[in-house]
Amino acid sequence: MAGSSFGTIFRITTWGETHGAGVGVVVDGCPAGLALCEEDIQEYLDRRKPGQSRYTTQRKEGDKVSILSGVFEGKTTGTPISMVVYNENQRSKDYSNIMDIYRPGHADYTYDMKYGFRDYRGGGRSSGRETIGRVAAGAVAAKLLKELGIHISSYAKVIAGIGICQQNFDEKEIWKNPFYMPDADAAAKVQERAEQAMKELDSVGGIIECVITGVKPGIGDPAFDKLSAQLGKAVLSIGAVKGFEIGDGFGTAFARGSQNNDEFAMKDGEITKITNHSGGVLGGISDGSPIIFRAAVKPTPSIARTQNTVNKDGQDVEIKIRGRHDPMIVPRAVVVVESMAAITILDGILKNMSATLENVKKIYE
Amino acid sequence: MAGSSFGTIFRITTWGETHGAGVGVVVDGCPAGLALCEEDIQEYLDRRKPGQSRYTTQRKEGDKVSILSGVFEGKTTGTPISMVVYNENQRSKDYSNIMDIYRPGHADYTYDMKYGFRDYRGGGRSSGRETIGRVAAGAVAAKLLKELGIHISSYAKVIAGIGICQQNFDEKEIWKNPFYMPDADAAAKVQERAEQAMKELDSVGGIIECVITGVKPGIGDPAFDKLSAQLGKAVLSIGAVKGFEIGDGFGTAFARGSQNNDEFAMKDGEITKITNHSGGVLGGISDGSPIIFRAAVKPTPSIARTQNTVNKDGQDVEIKIRGRHDPMIVPRAVVVVESMAAITILDGILKNMSATLENVKKIYE
Amino acid sequence: MAGSSFGTIFRITTWGETHGAGVGVVVDGCPAGLALCEEDIQEYLDRRKPGQSRYTTQRKEGDKVSILSGVFEGKTTGTPISMVVYNENQRSKDYSNIMDIYRPGHADYTYDMKYGFRDYRGGGRSSGRETIGRVAAGAVAAKLLKELGIHISSYAKVIAGIGICQQNFDEKEIWKNPFYMPDADAAAKVQERAEQAMKELDSVGGIIECVITGVKPGIGDPAFDKLSAQLGKAVLSIGAVKGFEIGDGFGTAFARGSQNNDEFAMKDGEITKITNHSGGVLGGISDGSPIIFRAAVKPTPSIARTQNTVNKDGQDVEIKIRGRHDPMIVPRAVVVVESMAAITILDGILKNMSATLENVKKIYE
Amino acid sequence: MAGSSFGTIFRITTWGETHGAGVGVVVDGCPAGLALCEEDIQEYLDRRKPGQSRYTTQRKEGDKVSILSGVFEGKTTGTPISMVVYNENQRSKDYSNIMDIYRPGHADYTYDMKYGFRDYRGGGRSSGRETIGRVAAGAVAAKLLKELGIHISSYAKVIAGIGICQQNFDEKEIWKNPFYMPDADAAAKVQERAEQAMKELDSVGGIIECVITGVKPGIGDPAFDKLSAQLGKAVLSIGAVKGFEIGDGFGTAFARGSQNNDEFAMKDGEITKITNHSGGVLGGISDGSPIIFRAAVKPTPSIARTQNTVNKDGQDVEIKIRGRHDPMIVPRAVVVVESMAAITILDGILKNMSATLENVKKIYE
């Protein structure tokens, strides 16, 4: 079944395997007239590319994007935008140690069960490289959102058990440490823990937080297409994400209604919320407060230790995964989360355009 | 934008407001030949209906379901199954105290911002009664899954800060206390806390857990339609849900790769996983282990205390919500979570049918 | 597979069988703020209801519509509009002569092949009554289009081989004869032919034409969602329709490019087309001229003559269809074609809202 | 709005402009395990490539396809198949004579009205080159259908007013003349007419017929997704197609029910239809007879004659289109029609897999 598309009006379709010819995305439904060039995309891709620090894989890949269609004279034309990153790392390698073996924590086994066989080179479609298409599309969405006054900030909130301290929060710091953490102290501690884990041939997990400001009230649909549900799907569809929460999230389970309800109040002639336990979404629709959500990211399953597993012939075997792997997924996933958020919010805004007859008349007449 | 549908092959569309003529659902794409009658549906609806205990609203509604189409001579025909529950509680009431006021924690404000006005009677479409359609459809899905050997169990894991103790877990207990908790001791403590909260004119939140057994490996799609992402969307689209996690969920953020990876091993000639940190889904595809996920449910926003808020004319006002409201959402939401899970799993199984040419030939030839 | 929905933003889902509890439709995605009441719907339904003349079936059914949701204080709320017509004709009849027999020209055989069995009462889901949901939804769409200055006119162009004469075209005449023909002379001749066919226990076919005025240029999408393709699907999905053409249609096959191209010219300061061979659509997008298309409607398959056929046990048998059947489908299908056109055009207009960044800013800012 | 995708389970997304970097398609949802290589695709593309005869454009383009993903070790993996044809004809040309002028019969004007501007080079997205993606995807679908015993044959039935004679029908002849006509005599006459039209700086239209054999009964869905409606949309979405009919099509409008009904009869122990007026589809579902439909194709709008038109500044101007253009669209469109048919039939077969609980059990258990 087709499952490589996301979004309704702003709709993306990704394709590609990590060791095939390349990976890419087709963005269909982008409004015409947005100034766009390859540099806009590259800036986002560079945030997820390998080799940025010793805490991400040391593979060397330029991940240079090409726009193949949908942009003319520097502007989107309204027709599909096809973008591709050709794989440099395509050389024929020796996969004999993994082609028949099911790596723990990976999708090898499940792909074989579903499709009967799989592209075993580097994880094939289930590799993190699949997210390149998401980030390229996210860059387009984020650029358009900027034109509407919407800003998305995402960062590591927790890595290896070390969380940021809200008092130390400094957005500029995000860009200064290899972990995309807005707290220099926390980042330093993460570095220690990471070194320790690497020494022990192990990997660590974490939590990414995303804050979206500038979203007006009214975005998102009742019932199944609640903005929170769409964001949840967007983020949970990223390979290593195992949890999603919005606003107070799992904390609401322990709260009283009187604590969790956000009271409304007039402020400078505007309706505002005094608190933001809701995370910017009420009844599935944006309430004008910043949208805040978190994603739990599991530790990299590729670890250098010897692990027990089985092969496809049904024999118990040991596996030792070779090659250079990220000791943590979080830093490179930060921009992926941000991209999926941008795509979801933009799609929500476009879907909301026809919410009222008044809006319809504003465009049609 | 249309947003009242969920699922692709097994697709449901819900409709209705709490104080309109009724609420209902159209289930399209249900395979033909499933034995189905109104009792099958009613059994599920009775688990969410009001008035089951003093910890759910005391409103009296029979919530009797009628099947209007798609079933003939006791079997589904393959055509749309339309089901309706007519509202008994339609009497014209005095809404003057809420029609212009934005209740904290409710969707009143966001609906007004989106649509320009709203059906203010009892929350209209944003009311919990919208879930009746989900549960009716879920009953159909669950019945079909049973034919495939799949069983879904859901229950309250935490209410008002009181969690079940894994050693005390007793599935039969779920049906014996008003909280659908599989731990009698925990349920007793919840009762105390609930009484306390009610006395203080307040409400409490909780966590629902869902365990699905019998799902074979291979269900779910790579990329955006991962089974975990679909389950996440399904569950996050339920009114009061603010968080979703699968397997170890947010716990993975604090784990090492060596702890979080589930090793494979041969057992009785079958490939199995020694542990189930993944919650039954690897790379978005079912891995044969039980699928386990949790949903965070916020406290009922309708509380009897006086709250500060604003009205639609932009004045600061106080509101005191009258009427009978659930002091907690969790118990009645248990079957809603179970229903959304059933719909998602069934849709995943149907989508998987065309995964291989071999399967296609098996049906076509 | 779910296949009972049509449209993307303005999306309808129909349900129901001719001899079940009723037939209905859920309209999801209708913009909020449209004045709507049951009379608006009833007016359309009355144009397709049986018993209007001796050239349509003499069954007596009031076809009274109820709106169950989505309308509050006389206006659409933006949430799903559920509409139902309960069947009066539900009495248990003797179907022994058709339950096992495949009527020629009907879907009995194909339903059995697809689903393994079928609701044999009066054709079940494949009955013309399925179109009630379409017409109810079409009435909503047409009302909204009227607010945008768009008018749809449809009528019989050919019945029983008798075509209207363009010189005699009189729109008012449509409402004066039982055939919805805009030419009194042609209608008189049709009457003769119809009487003849009825005497011979036979039925006749025809062509419906539809003209949509007031559609501005720019509606419809390139590639697969061309306005012409969407209209084609909409109309070809009506039970008895076997052909669709837009503008000069099949005539273009016999034309030269110099004849078929519509030259543009300035007129009163506006860009206009001198001719309209395109039927108002160029490259799949509306060009500002009236949209003109035609649908070929086959003769009623239920005829009173004895026909040869087989039964489900694989025996050659004779069948004589009892009961009151329309000697022609065209007159009652006119409003169905009009309804499908209205739904398609409205959906196209809503989809076009996000075509440019300029439009997006107009609504969002 | 996204509109560049077609199909539900077997879903294709095309992209690209005629003078951009290339054109391509992503095929999502192709079952795993189909043997596939670039030659399979190239064979289809070669049937639509320019320069095959003097009756198609003399532009030289190799149209070499590359498969970028979704195929591993010679078989489809179940993940998206990305295919691309890079444009050779990308050289910067002088477009000053058309960039501001609306060519009659083309989409220049409507694109400008929709998007505010357009890629004016050679028609951009509205060029016939958009169909390359359809044909590449169609080749995949057709290859899979062959495995199921389904064969699709398409050919020119009418060109320039010359129709084939059913008695002369010879399938092998299709491949022997430049018009893909199964009648040598008709082809000879078409050649004369074509020469005449070219001499007069004009173009001609025609009709393509498509016959699909081997489709078992039961494919297609009731209501909106009738197989006939899906085929209609598929074919009407091809640039120059202005009409579609299935079986007796517009002829049914002139027939009696007794003539148009296909009687069933037992033949060699199988239920068969004596005639095939239905064109293989009853009630929207395949009936086991060959599926037969026709598409009306307009004459090439690019003609060498001087034509009157307007420019985007609202001035009346004359235009003389330079360059090498096909004097007829039909021959190169034959394989496009065939491709869209293959995609539609395959999608229908995959959608039908879940029609019955029995089928579901056959795959799941």
Q: What is the DSSP annotation of A146-189?
A: HHTT-EEEEEEEEETTEEPPGGG--GGGGGTSTT--S-HHHHHH
* pLDDT for position C275: 98
Scan residues 54-83 of D and list those with Cβ closer than 8 Å to C. Answer: none
Q: Which amino acid is at A12?
A: I
Q: Locate the chain B residue with the closest alpha carbon to C74.
A: B119
> pLDDT grade, residue C133 (50/70/90)?
very high
Predicted-assembly ipTM surpassing the 0.90 threshold: yes
Check pLDDT > 70 for residue C267. yes
What pLDDT is recorded for position D91?
A: 60
Which residue, chain included where needed, has tokens 């404000």? Answer: B109
Record: contact C360-A353, CB cut-off 8 A: yes
CA angle D356, D361, D365 (to 5 degrees): 170
Count the Cβ atoms, other than its own, within 10 Å of residue B95.
Answer: 13
Helices (H), A222-365: 227-236, 257-260, 330-352, 357-364
Whole-angstrom Cα Rg for chain A: 21
Residue stretches of chain B with pLDDT short of 70: 58-60, 89-94
pLDDT of residue B90: 60
pLDDT in tens, C160-177: 999 999 999 999 999 999
pLDDT at C122: 83
Which pLDDT score, from 0 to 100, does residue B53 have?
82
- What Cα–Cα distance (Å) separates residue C159 from each residue in B336, C55, C86, C237, D243? 53, 12, 31, 20, 20
In chain D, which among 16-45 make CB contacts under 8 A with chain A? 16-17, 20-24, 26, 28-29, 32-33
Q: Kindly state whether B344 is in contact with chain A, defined as any CB-CB distance less than 8 angstroms.
A: no
Give the list of residues 6+ apart from residue C122 with CB closer than 8 angstroms, or none.
C17, C18, C19, C89, C129
Contact D138, D6 (CB under 8 A): no
* Per-residue model confidence as pLDDT tens for chain A (365 residues): 889 999 999 999 999 999 899 999 999 999 999 999 999 999 999 998 877 888 877 666 789 999 999 999 999 999 999 999 999 866 666 777 778 999 999 999 999 999 999 998 888 899 999 999 999 999 999 999 999 999 999 999 999 999 999 999 999 999 999 999 999 999 999 999 999 999 999 999 999 999 999 999 999 999 999 999 999 999 999 999 999 999 999 999 999 999 999 999 999 999 999 999 999 999 999 999 999 999 999 999 999 999 999 999 999 999 998 777 889 999 999 999 999 999 999 999 999 999 999 999 999 98
Residues of B in contact with D27 (CB under 8 A): none
Nearest partner of C205 among D260, D228, D264, judged by Cα: D260
Distance of CA B300 to the CA centre of its chain: 15
CA–CA separation, C26 vs B218, rounded Å? 34
Helix (H, G, I), strand (E, B) or coil at A251: helix
D76 contacts in B (CB within 8 Å)? Answer: 357
Residues of C within 8 A of D296 (CB-CB) are 245, 249-253
Residues 6+ apart with CB under 8 A from A267: none
Q: Do C356 and A29 touch (CB under 8 A)?
A: no
For chain C, the chains sharing at least 3 beta-carbon pairs closer than 8 angstroms are A, B, D
Among the partner residues D8, D9, D357, nearest to B34 by beta-carbon distance: D357
> From its phi and psi, is residue C193 left (phi > 0), alpha (psi between -120 and 50) or beta?
alpha
By Cβ distance, the residue of D239, D245, D283 closest to C296 is D245
User: Hey, what are C308's tokens?
Assistant: 């040869």
- Return the percentage of chain C with pLDDT > 90, whole number: 88
From CA A337, how far away is CA A341, in angstroms rounded? 6
Tell me the CB-side half-sphere exposure of residue C1, using CA atoms within 13 A: 28
Contact C162, C177 (CB under 8 A): no
Q: From chain B, pick out residues whose CB is under 8 angstroms from the CB of C22.
A: 68-69
The pLDDT score that the predictor gives to residue B59 is 65
Which of C1, C350, C353 to substitute to test the interface with B, most B CBs within 10 Å?
C1
Please report the pLDDT score of residue D50 as a whole number: 79
Place of tokens 């990211």: A297
| A144 secondary structure, DSSP code | H
CB distance C68–B125 less than 8 Å? Answer: no
Per-domain boundaries in chain A: 5-364
With contact defined as beta carbons under 8 Å apart, do C243 and D136 qualify?
no
Q: What is the DSSP string of B151-195?
A: EEEEEEEEETTEEPPGGG--GGGGGTSTT--S-HHHHHHHHHHHH
D307: DSSP letter? E
- Sorted by sequence, the CB contacts under 8 Å of residue D269 that are 6+ apart come out as C314
- Tens of pLDDT along D287-318? 999 999 999 999 999 999 999 999 999 999 99
- In eight-state DSSP terms, residue D299 is P
Chain C residues near residue A8 by CB distance under 8 angstroms: 8
CA dihedral D225→D226→D229→D230, nearest 10 degrees, is 60
Between residues A91 and C1, which one has the greater pLDDT?
Answer: C1
| Per-residue model confidence as pLDDT tens digits over D338-353 | 999 999 999 999 999 9
Burial of D151 (0-12, 13-18, 19+ CB in 10 A): middle
Q: Residue D1: what pLDDT?
A: 84
Looking at CATH, the fold of the domain delimited by C5-364 is given as: Chorismate synthase, AroC fold (3.60.150)
Of C102, C205, C217, the CB nearest to D253: C205
Residue bearing tokens 């500038």 = A214
Alpha-carbon distance of C293 to C220, in angstroms, equals 15
Q: How far apart are CA A283 and CA A278, in angstroms?
A: 10
Band of residue D131 on the pLDDT scale cut at 50, 70, 90: very high
In this structure, the strands spanning A162-163 and A151-159 are antiparallel
What is the mean predicted confidence (pLDDT) over C57-77? 89
pTM of this structure = 0.97
Among A208, A225, A193, residue whose Cα is nearest residue A331: A208
Closest Cβ–Cβ partner in C125, C197, C230 for D256: C197
Choose the closest CB to C257 out of D102, D252, D303: D303
Residues in chain A closer than 8 A to D79 (CB atoms): 4, 15, 17, 119, 124-125
Compute the radius of gyration of chain B from its Cα atoms: 21
Q: How many CA atoms lie within 13 A of C99 on its CB side?
A: 8
CA of B33 to nearest chain D CA: how many angstroms apart? 6
Average pLDDT of every residue of chain D = 94
Instruction: Report the alpha-carbon angle D116-D121-D126, nearest 5.
Output: 70
Which tens digit of pLDDT belongs to each residue from D76-108? Answer: 999 999 999 999 866 666 677 778 999 999 999
Q: What percent of chain D has pLDDT over 70?
A: 98
Neighbours of chain D (3+ CB pairs under 8 A): A, B, C
d(CA A164, CA A294): 13
E strands, chain C, in order: 5-6, 11-16, 22-28, 65-67, 71-72, 75-76, 81-86, 151-159, 162-163, 206-213, 241-246, 264-267, 270-273, 281-282, 285-286, 291-297, 306-310, 316-320
Inter-chain CB pairs, B–D, below 8 Å: 87
Residue among B331, B362, B351, B333 nearest B53 (CA): B331
